[in-house]
A and B are shown apart, each in its own frame.
Chain A
Amino acid sequence: MDTFQTTSFADQLSAGLVTWGTTVGITLGVMLLVCYVFTAIRLGPLSAGDRIYSVLVSAVGDLLFISPRRTFAIAWLAVKESIRKQAVAGLIIFLVILAFALWFLDSETYDPSSLYISFVMNAVNYLVLLLAVLTAAFSLPNDMKNKTIYTIVTKPVRPSEIILGRILGFTAVCTIPLATMGLCSYLFVVRSLDHRHELTEADVRPIVAGPATRNVKPGSKQGSTSTAHSHRHKVTVDADGNGVTETNDSDRIEMDDAVDFHDRFGSSHWHVVTGELRDGRMVYHVGPPQGQFHARVPIKGLLRFKEADGTASKEGYNVGNWTKRGYVAGGTLSAAVFTFDGVDPNRFPEGVPLEMNIRLFRTTKEGMDKPIIGSLIIRNPITGLSSAPRNFAAREYVTLQQIIPRKLTDSKGKTLDLFDDLAVNGRVEIELQCIPRSQFFGVGPDDVYLLAREGRFDVNFLKGLFGIWLQMVLTVVLAVVFSTFLSGPVAMLATAAAVIGALLRPFIVNVVRDNLFEGKAHTGGVLESMVRLTDQRAITLELEEGTTTSLIQSIDKVLNSLLDGMFTFIPDFSALNDVNSVAGGFDISSSLLWMHTAQTLGFVLPLFLVGFIVFKLTEVAK
């Protein structure tokens, strides 16, 4: 994708591979050293070296000569085991029923699609992870306990095949319920948001002539549908009875009767209305909801701000990982400036669709339900040549859609061509301002984007499930690896702890970094905090200057970096979770999917390696 934030997958991969390789290399090296030291204590340095060397050589053989038939036999056994042990089957059924009960309970209330999607997908996510922990953690320990493993390891099966086969088997076992739940939740979302409204002749009346009705075709009528799914629509139909329900508040023609304050108008979708003359009376048919589900492919821009006097903001440029919103003060020269790439006529022959989700910050109470008017100009990033300001009406939580036409005018009325005059190699600047004084716009880097195209929602849903699947695979691998050296229940608990850590990773990292590294807790690092705890020093008191203090603080520095390094070993499930994109109606790019896959493999490969070597060194008949 040609945006500023996302570099290509290949670039990220090659950069990531180096860090990954170093981390894995160092970790495995340290593990090897520890193993050597322990073996050397028992056998003496030389034969320990021999032992480790021969283990490594045969481990390489184990990896190189993995037999697919044997591996799949082990995987098949894992599948059979899970299916035939009714306990697990019962559990699956229970979880599915539970999930459905939860979902159907919620189906009566009105909510936009995003809430539905994020609810069901997150439910599926947690259920599948739970299932993965429960099925995969007990298998190997049970085999050890029942000694059935004796009949496996006395066959020419390599330890690598036993571990890999189990991983594959349990992945298959858990994929089936994931697919089932995924399909059910997709149908659930689509079905439960499907609805019809009634519209009768009595609901519409002719449009009263006025300034706002200039563009209305003669004979048109206007009214409001019946309430279904806790909302209704305003609708304008022409003389033949055909029309479309309105979606956008800003387009709405003021109604002559007062709108009931508690009525909610569906703005997340629209319906097509067709009219039919039957016995001299008009009968209206309202079609199924449309435009409810999106998979927008956005082109994001680089955001910077201008101060009230028009100078560049001290906030500086957005460097990509900063997602806080900046503010644009109304009635000043303050502005949010986006630089977009990829604006070319081949991609956008019809003009450039621009979408905006702007936050409103009001400093006056008056006109709370009214939109705030803003303006935008399109500017050539090199010459500064710019279009005349175009006004828009911003409302809270409404995605504003605009098409920037190819033909624009400058402030003197001269015609400008978007692609020829304003874009330089596909790059343009779009500047947003807030018009009324003492009102503010809140704008973040993801809030304004060009709509490259609409992807398919069902495909996007599948991509979202893929992210869940990757988390599931990682959970299975963790469970299998833990179960090579822990007993069943302990392996399950360890896996559960790791999964919770992975789910909460951003939170944990933030808490630790904020408090220990950035000194927000004012107690210094680990050691300093302990010193403070023991002598109960107030947090406002500094430690006495001196060698002890500097020693404490430098040890803390080392501890902090160690602690920070530890985070590398916690996988980040939130990074694999794309539910918010699916629910927010944004397409998950394929490069992101590749990224996720690479991240998952980055954990799976070394974990597999560790698991199989641990199993190789295990005395099975102990």
Chain B
Amino acid sequence: MVSTAAPAASQAASPGVDGDIVIETRGLAKVYRDFWGRQKVRALKGLDLTVRRGEIFGLLGPNGSGKTTTIKLLLGLLFPTSGQAFVLGKPATDVAKNERIGYLPEESYLYKFLNAEETLDFYGRLFNLPKAVRRERTQKLLELVRVTTAKKRRLREYSKGMTRRIGLAQALINDPELIILDEPTTGLDPIGCREMKDLILDLKRQGKTVLMCSHLLADVQDVCDRIAVLHQGELKELGRVDGLLKVRDVTELRASGLSDECKTELAAVVAKHGGKLIGLDNPTTTLEELFLEIVQDAEARPGRRAASESST
């Protein structure tokens, strides 16, 4: 994998000397144990991942495949059972790395007894930001996530989507270099989803790195540069989104206003050139297809792992 390309191979503890690598995991594994130390779940099995600066990286996988576990390991919320994780050149358990990270959890775990302004001010203080900076950023972020009108209300009274927006604002309070988003679009209305995707692309434009996981494949397809597909804690696929989708030997044709005769004609043309017509109805999202295929394949042949990146 790419990790071997890191120049500081001899200096195992600090791979981030290569300023381009933002996240790196080596054989990262997590086994959840119960109180007595008995093994409950092997949530992650030997994950090797590299995320580079300026990338939008998507983690995909069915429910319970280990996406959130990966993120928690990267943030030091969990300690790995084996393997290592480095974020921004520091071990994942080092609090100093948090200085440049923004994190939006799976659900917005915020203090319900604070109002929006107090919440952002509080998290700003945790970054040791001076008062003037905190005030300015709070106002800017409240506008960005569009909850300015409700800024004096306690979060207890917020709807799910509103809380999610404050959660996002909270993740951006320190103007982070790396933003980790766990299912960013859950709970948001369609406009909110669109705004979220625009925001992510905007962050990329500012040169920031984004790691996100999501079930909404359309979202991932829209914004991500590279994706990794997890299944039961194993990495099944890894690569550039366009590359991954291009390897499919499929030509998609999109047209409107075709008559039935025209369709039969098209089918005849395909047949004439030795092709096989897969379908000629409304096209399915290709990533969705890929995803389903990977999952079905993984279920049929457990143990296969992502061999190499499709295109780097």
Give me the interface of A with B, judged by CB distance under 8 Å. Answer: 58, 67, 69-70, 72-73, 76-77, 80-81, 84-85, 146-159, 619-622
Contacts and interface: CB of A to CB of B under 8 A. Distances in A.
Given A148-B109, A148-B110, A157-B95, A621 B77 contact: yes
A84 B98 CA distance: 29
B163 to A, nearest CB: 12
A71 to B, nearest CB: 10
Contact of A620 (B77, B122, B126, B174): B77
A153 B76 contact: yes
Contacts of A77: 111, 122
B30 to A, nearest CB: 10
Contact of B128 (A151, A156, A622): A156
Nearest to B97: A156
B54 to A, nearest CB: 22
A372 B308 CA distance: 105
B144 to A, nearest CB: 18
Contacts of A58: 94
A148 to B, nearest CB: 5
Given A76-B122, A150-B109, 14 more contacts: A69-B128, A70-B125, A80-B118, A81-B111, A81-B113, A148-B111, A150-B103, A154-B98, A155-B127, A157-B95, A157-B126, A158-B95, A621-B77, A622-B78
A154 B101 CA distance: 8
Contact of B77 (A67, A150, A159): A150
Contacts of B111: 77, 80-81, 148
**Which of B98, B125, B128 gathers most chain A CB within 10 Å?**
B125
B113 A69 contact: no
A12 to B, nearest CB: 40
Interface in B69-122: 72, 75-79, 94-96, 98-99, 101, 103, 105, 107, 109-111, 113-114, 118, 122
Interface in B112-168: 113-114, 118, 122-123, 125-128
A73 B78 contact: no
Contacts of A621: 72, 77-78
B170 interface: yes
Mostly helix, strand, loop or mixed at chain A's interface?
A: helix
A156 B122 contact: no
A149 B103 CA distance: 13
Contacts of B113: 80-81, 84-85
B105 A156 contact: no
Contact of A146 (B78, B101, B109): B109
Given A157-B95, A620-B77, A80 B127 contact: no
The 4 residue pairs across chains A and B that have the minimum distance between CB atoms: A73-B125, A621-B77, A84-B113, A155-B126
Interface residues of B, number: 29
Contacts of A155: 98, 123, 126-127, 174
Contact of B109 (A72, A84, A147): A147
Nearest to A155: B126
Interface string B54-80: 000000000000000000100111110
B110 A156 contact: no
Contacts, number: 77
A77 B118 CA distance: 10
Interface in B1-30: none
A69 B128 CA distance: 6
21 contacts: A58-B94, A70-B125, A73-B126, A76-B122, A84-B113, A85-B113, A147-B107, A148-B109, A148-B110, A149-B109, A151-B109, A153-B76, A154-B75, A154-B101, A156-B126, A156-B127, A157-B98, A159-B95, A619-B78, A620-B78, A621-B72
Nearest to A58: B94
Nearest to A618: B79
Contact of A156 (B72, B95, B109, B118): B95
Contact of B122 (A73, A153, A158): A73
Interface of B: 72, 75-79, 94-96, 98-99, 101, 103, 105, 107, 109-111, 113-114, 118, 122-123, 125-128, 170, 174
**Which of B79, B94, B107 gathers most chain A CB within 10 Å?**
B79
Contacts of A70: 125-126, 128
B96 A156 contact: yes
Contacts of B123: 151, 155
A458 B124 CA distance: 43
B122 A619 contact: no
A257 to B, nearest CB: 70
B311 to A, nearest CB: 33
Nearest to B72: A621
Nearest to B74: A154
Contacts of A81: 111, 113
Nearest to A72: B125
Given A77-B122, A154-B75, A67 B98 contact: no
B25 to A, nearest CB: 17
Contacts of A147: 105, 107, 109
B75 A67 contact: no
B79 A619 contact: yes
Contacts of A76: 122, 125
Contacts of B75: 154
A156 B99 contact: yes
Contacts of B125: 69-70, 72-73, 76
**Which of A149, A620, A621 gathers most chain B CB within 10 Å?**
A621
Contacts of A146: 109
A156 B125 CA distance: 10
B184 to A, nearest CB: 15
Contacts of A72: 125
Given A73-B126, A157-B95, A151 B77 contact: no
Nearest to B101: A154
Contacts of B170: 151
A152 B126 contact: yes
B77 A153 contact: yes
Nearest to A159: B95
**Which of A80, A154, A620 gathers most chain B CB within 10 Å?**
A154
Contacts of A156: 95-96, 98-99, 126-128
Contacts of A150: 77, 103, 105, 109
Nearest to B174: A155
Contacts of B128: 67, 69-70, 156
A522 to B, nearest CB: 44
A279 to B, nearest CB: 69
A151 B78 contact: no
Nearest to A617: B79
Contacts of A619: 77-79
Nearest to A86: B113
Contacts of B96: 156
A460 to B, nearest CB: 39
Nearest to B73: A621
Contacts of B95: 153, 156-159
A152 B105 CA distance: 11
A84 B157 CA distance: 14
Contacts of A153: 76-77, 95
Contacts of B122: 73, 76-77
Contacts of B126: 70, 73, 152, 155-157
A441 B109 CA distance: 71
A147 B103 CA distance: 13
Contacts of A159: 95
Contacts of B99: 156
A85 B113 CA distance: 7
A77 B126 CA distance: 11
B68 to A, nearest CB: 9
A475 to B, nearest CB: 24
Nearest to A55: B93
Contacts of A84: 113
Nearest to A621: B77
Contacts of B127: 155-156
B79 to A, nearest CB: 5
A497 to B, nearest CB: 22
A321 B76 CA distance: 54
